[in-house]
Copies of this chain bind each other. A is one copy, B any other.
Amino acid sequence: MTATPTLPEMCAALGDQTRWDILTRLGQEAMSASALARVLPVSRQAIVKHLDVLSEAGLVTSERRGREIVYAALGSRLNALAHELDRIGNAWDTRLRALKDLAESADE
């Protein structure tokens, strides 16, 4: 846990196709880095790095299970992000509407 990841950090973590491939798998079933490497067309080391990024962003949890470490996608963080983005989106549109109204009343 390195404090709360910032909004750009969260988005950056989700801004990579390979990481979505990983997340999609982990969303279906929890599995280890080695297991993911067997299924995806990248090396285990690459997967580990991606998992680190996803972990930093709080998008996956890890749990040691015997000799392997099993990862699972964590939906709650994604939901929290979604909520925040939604709020921001609404704020923008509100501003836009307000400006548009102002422009109309100022025109002619």
List residues of A whose CB falls within 8 A of some B CB: 6-9, 11-17, 19-20, 26-30, 72-79, 81-83, 85-86, 88-96, 99
B15/A11 in contact, CB under 8 A: yes
CA distance A93 to B16 in the complex (A): 21
A27/B95 in contact, CB under 8 A: yes
| A27-B92 contact given A8-B16, A15-B14, A17-B8, CB 8 Å threshold | yes
Chain B residues lying within 8 Å of A26, measured Cβ to Cβ, are 92
A28/B95 in contact, CB under 8 A: yes
Of A76, A79, A85, most B-chain CB atoms within 10 Å: A85
| Pick from B8, B17, B78, B86: contact of A88, CB under 8 Å | B78
Closest CB pairs A-B (n = 6) = A12-B15, A78-B89, A75-B92, A75-B93, A75-B89, A11-B14
CB-CB nearest in chain B for A72? B96
B96/A90 in contact, CB under 8 A: no
B12/A16 in contact, CB under 8 A: yes
